[in-house]
A and B are shown apart, each in its own frame.
Chain A
Amino acid sequence: MIYFDNVYKRYPRGHEALSQINLRLARGQMAFLTGHSGAGKSTLLKLIAMIERPTRGQIFLDGVNLNNISNRKIPYIRRNIGIIFQNHHLLYDRPVFDNVALPLIIQGYRHQEIHKRVRAALNQVGLLGKENNDPITLSGGEQQRVGIARAIVHKPLLLLADEPTGNLDPELSKEIMQLFVRFNQVGTTVLIASHDLELIKQIGSPVISLQDGKVAYNGLPFTVNSDQYA
Chain B
Amino acid sequence: MRNNPYKKSWFRSYIGDHLRVSLASLGRLYGQPAATIMTTAVIAIALTLPVGLFITLDNIGKLSSGWDGSTQISLFLHTEVDNNKAKQLMSQLKKNKLIKTVELIDKEQGLEEFKKISGFGEALKYLDHNPLPIVLVVHPNIMENQPGRTTSLVNELKKNDMVELAQLDVQWVKRLYTILEIANRSIWVISTMLALAVLLIIGNTIRLDIQNRREEIEVSKLIGASNAFIRRPFLYTGLWYGLIGGMLAWSITLISLVLMENPIHKLALLYHSQFRLSGLNLENMLILILISCLLGLTGSWIAVSQHLKEIEPS
Residue numbers of A with Cβ under 8 A of B are: 49, 51, 72, 75-79, 81, 83, 89, 91, 93, 102-103, 105-110, 113, 150
Contact = CB atoms under 8 A, between A and B. Distances in A.
Given A51-B312, A89-B218, A106 B224 contact: yes
B8 interface: yes
B219 interface: yes
B222 A109 contact: no
Contact of B17 (A49, A83, A91, A108): A108
B176 interface: no
Contacts, number: 63
Contact of A75 (B10, B17, B219, B225): B225
Number of contact residues on B: which range applies? 20 to 34
A-B pairs, 3 with minimum CB distance? A108-B13, A79-B224, A78-B224
A191 B270 CA distance: 88
Interface string B1-42: 000001110100100110010000000000000000000000
A113 B6 CA distance: 6
Contacts of B222: 49, 51, 78, 83, 89
5 contacts: A77-B224, A83-B223, A105-B17, A106-B225, A110-B7
B227 A72 contact: yes
B215 A76 contact: no
Contacts of B6: 109-110, 113
B226 interface: yes
Contacts of A106: 220, 223-226, 229
B313 interface: yes
A108 B195 CA distance: 37
Interface string B214-239: 01101111111111010000000000
A103 B224 contact: yes
Contacts of A150: 223
A150 B227 CA distance: 20
Nearest to A110: B8
B302 to A, nearest CB: 20
A193 to B, nearest CB: 15
Contact of B216 (A75, A83, A91, A103): A91
A99 B78 CA distance: 94
Given A51-B314, A106-B229, A108-B13, A75 B8 contact: no
A107 B216 contact: no
Task: Kindly name the residue among B17, B229, B313 whose own CB sees the greatest number of chain A CB atoms within 10 A.
Answer: B313
A75 B224 contact: yes
A110 B7 CA distance: 5
Contacts of A76: 224, 226
Nearest to B222: A83
Contacts of B17: 105, 108
Given A102-B223, A107-B224, A51 B7 contact: no
Interface in B187-221: 215-216, 218-221
Contacts of A75: 221, 224-227, 229
A79 B229 CA distance: 14
B215 A89 contact: yes
A79 B224 CA distance: 5
Contact of B219 (A49, A91, A109): A91
B312 A107 contact: no
Nearest to A82: B223
Task: Kindly name the residue among B6, B17, B216, B221 whose own CB sees the greatest number of chain A CB atoms within 10 A.
Answer: B6
B253 to A, nearest CB: 37
Contacts of A89: 215, 218-219, 222
A51 B226 contact: no
B312 to A, nearest CB: 7
Contacts of A79: 223-224
A51 B224 CA distance: 11
A102 B215 CA distance: 13
B13 to A, nearest CB: 3
B98 to A, nearest CB: 62
